[in-house]
Copies of this chain bind each other. A is one copy, B any other.
Amino acid sequence: MVTTGETLVTQQETSNFDLASYLKDKQQLVEAALDRSLAITRPETIYEAMRYSLLAGGKRLRPILCLTTCELLGGTLEMALPTACALEMIHTMSLIHDDLPAMDNDDYRRGKLTNHKKYGEDIAILAGDGLLAYAFEYAATQTRNVDPHNLINVLGRLGRTVGPAGLVGGQVLDLESEGKPDITVDTLKFIHTHKTGALLETSVVSGAILAGGSTEDIQRLSQYAQNIGLAFQIIDDILDITSTQEELGKTAGKDLRDQKATYPSLWGLEESKKQAQNLVSGAIAQLTPYGNKAEPLRAIANFIVTRNN
């Protein structure tokens, strides 16, 4: 997963921890669990449509963050796996609905036809609804050996993360900001903390809660997650520009073409890189009390600023 090409920001720490191999192992675990989570039954169309997008690949970053945090605080993979799957179902649902003609109107995602291009718009809306509802059913009915108060806490946070105080709220402000390159940093941060940050934070925090983490653990890991979520978005915006600069002759980056406000457009490229690096440093500082056990979360934070795709 860690690429060898030019990095955007100098890697802060070197470590013998093999992140690529760690992510690969966890990814395989998640893929197998997702595959088992949803058997096809009547009416077959909807299960096929849900599985089509749920099993379309991807980094599985959200489930992995949940599993990793649960293990960090002494929990087992088994305790976190149903919630990890639920997080990916929710993420998939948000992609299916974002791709709809009434939203971003995308025909392809990860090289495959989007859900509505493959199954029709009606089924795609229902596949999203089905994945969202099934995420709650799955986490509520499949979780074992977790204090029930902690599970209720996690289910409530999952709901908040998708609703108007999370994904949905972020998407609405994003839609309202289209074609307005002069929006404020405050609005831009609101969009990202809601649209992408909230689910990343809940991925980390839910792992901590399922493991029975203390209030201090949850606060530390929440701050870690908020920082890497925002850094992730800033780097996304930077890559949209720099990958264009590297590949001369191609049309300008999508954000620039769409006159979309981004961190580089508001802060400039250098300041954006600096902010991203500061956020990652702050994230890593939160992990100090956990020592070597936090190596996976540390490596994931560094990976975010060093990735180049």
A172 in the interface, Cβ–Cβ < 8 Å? Answer: yes
A61 in the interface, Cβ–Cβ < 8 Å? Answer: no
Q: Looking at the complex, which of A9-17, A146-154, A228-236 is the stretch in contact with chain B?
A: A146-154
Residues facing B in A129-159 (CB within 8 A) are 129-130, 132-138, 140-141, 148-149, 151-153, 155-159
Q: Looking at the complex, which of A71-79, A96-104, A219-227, A239-247 is the stretch in contact with chain B?
A: A96-104
A160 in the interface, Cβ–Cβ < 8 Å? Answer: yes
> Does A163 contact B133, Cβ atoms closer than 8 Å?
yes
> Does B122 contact A102, Cβ atoms closer than 8 Å?
yes
A147 to chain B: closest CB distance in Å?
A: 8
In the complex, what distance in Å separates the CA atom of A140 from the CA atom of B149? 10
Q: Looking at the complex, which of A20-28, A40-48, A259-267 is the stretch in contact with chain B?
A: A40-48
A175 in the interface, Cβ–Cβ < 8 Å? Answer: yes
Pick the contact of A122 from B50, B93, B103, B135 — CB < 8 Å? Answer: B103
Given A45-B176, A125-B103, A133–B159 Cβ distance below 8 Å? yes
A268 in the interface, Cβ–Cβ < 8 Å? Answer: no
A190 in the interface, Cβ–Cβ < 8 Å? Answer: yes
A2 in the interface, Cβ–Cβ < 8 Å? Answer: no
- Specify which chain B residues have a CB less than 8 angstroms from the CB of A129 in the assembled complex: 93, 97, 128-129, 132, 162-163, 167-168
- Oligomer: number of copies: 2
Nearest to A166 among chain B residues (CB) is: B133
In this complex, the interface size class of chain A, counting residues with CB under 8 Å from chain B, is: 35 or more
In the complex, what distance in Å separates the CA atom of A155 from the CA atom of B156? 10
Pick the contact of A164 from B93, B134, B155, B160 — CB < 8 Å? Answer: B134
- Specify which chain B residues have a CB less than 8 angstroms from the CB of A173 in the assembled complex: 42-43
> Does B140 contact A159, Cβ atoms closer than 8 Å?
yes
A169 in the interface, Cβ–Cβ < 8 Å? Answer: yes
> Does B43 contact A169, Cβ atoms closer than 8 Å?
yes
> Does B138 contact A159, Cβ atoms closer than 8 Å?
yes
In the complex, what distance in Å separates the CA atom of A42 from the CA atom of B135? 26
Residues facing B in A157-191 (CB within 8 A) are 157-164, 166-169, 171-173, 175-176, 190
A95 in the interface, Cβ–Cβ < 8 Å? Answer: no
A126 in the interface, Cβ–Cβ < 8 Å? Answer: yes
- Specify which chain B residues have a CB less than 8 angstroms from the CB of A153 in the assembled complex: 140
> Does B43 contact A130, Cβ atoms closer than 8 Å?
no
Chain A window 82-122, contacts with chain B (Cβ cutoff 8 Å), 1 for yes, 0 for no: 00000000000100010010110000000000000000111
A269 in the interface, Cβ–Cβ < 8 Å? Answer: no
16 CB-based A-B contacts, threshold 8 Å: A50-B164, A102-B121, A102-B122, A128-B129, A129-B167, A130-B169, A133-B162, A134-B164, A136-B155, A137-B156, A140-B152, A140-B153, A140-B155, A141-B159, A151-B152, A152-B155
